[in-house]
Chains A and B, each alone.
Chain A
Amino acid sequence: MYVAVKGGEAAILATHDLVAEERRGDVSVPELSVAQIREQMQLAVARVMNEGSLYDEDLSALALKQAQGDMIEAAFLMRAYRTTLPRFGSSVPLDTSNMAIRRRISATYKDLPGGQVLGPTYDYTHRLFDFALMASGEAPEAQTSADRLDAAMPRVPDILGDEGLMEAELPPEGDPRPFDLTRDPIEFPADRDVRLQTLARGDEGFLLGLAYSVQRGFGGNHPFAGEIRLGEVAVEFVPEELGFAVDLGDITLTECQMVNQFQGSKDQPPQFTRGYGLSFGHAERKAMSMAILDRSLKAREFGEAADYPAQQEEFVLYHADNVEASGFVEHLKLPHYVDFQGELELLRKIRREQEERAATMKEAAE
Chain B
Amino acid sequence: MNTPHHDPDYNFGYLDEQTKRMVRRALLKAIAIPGYQVPFGSREMPLARGWGTGGIQITAALIGPADTLKVIDQGADDTTNAVSIRRFFERVSGVATTELTEDATIIQTRHRIPEKPLEAGQILVYQVPQPEPLRKLEPSEAETRKMHAWAEYGGMYVRLYEDIARYGHVATTYSYPVLVNGRYVMSPTPIPKFDNPKMDDMPALQLFGAGREKRIYAIPPYTSVKSLDFEDHPFTVQSWTEPCALCAANDSYLDEVITDDRGGRMFVCSDSSYCEDRRAKGHVGKELATAEALAYVGHVEGGSDVA
Which residues of A pack against B, CB within 8 Å? 1-6, 8-9, 11-12, 76, 79-80, 82-84, 86, 182-189, 314, 318, 323-324, 326-331, 334-339, 341-346, 349-350, 353
Contacts and interface: CB of A to CB of B under 8 A. Distances in A.
Contacts of B121: none
B304 interface: yes
Contacts of A353: 168
B112 A338 contact: yes
B242 interface: no
Nearest to B301: A1
B154 interface: no
Nearest to B285: A2
B296 interface: yes
B73 A339 contact: no
Contact of A341 (B22, B41, B83, B192): B192
Nearest to A357: B168
Given A188-B142, A339-B111, A331 B48 contact: yes
B20 to A, nearest CB: 13
A2 B246 contact: yes
Given A2-B292, A2-B297, A84-B16, A12 B169 contact: no
B46 A3 contact: no
B226 interface: no
B270 interface: yes
Nearest to A13: B87
A4 B276 contact: yes
Interface string B59-97: 000000000000001111011111110010000000000
Contact of A338 (B16, B53, B74, B87): B74
A16 to B, nearest CB: 11
B51 A334 contact: yes
Nearest to A187: B39
Given A80-B44, A188-B142, A338-B192, A328 B129 contact: yes
Interface in B160-193: 167-169, 171, 173-174, 190-193
Contact of A185 (B41, B78, B192, B303): B41
A141 to B, nearest CB: 42
A327 B50 contact: yes
B39 to A, nearest CB: 4
Given A2-B297, A82-B44, A346-B173, A324 B142 contact: no
A31 B276 CA distance: 48
A345 B129 contact: no
B246 to A, nearest CB: 7
B254 A2 contact: no
A1 B39 contact: no
Nearest to A3: B306
27 contacts: A1-B300, A2-B292, A2-B298, A3-B297, A3-B298, A4-B296, A5-B295, A5-B296, A6-B78, A8-B83, A11-B80, A12-B83, A83-B44, A183-B41, A184-B41, A188-B142, A314-B139, A326-B48, A327-B48, A331-B51, A335-B81, A338-B111, A338-B112, A338-B270, A341-B192, A341-B238, A341-B254
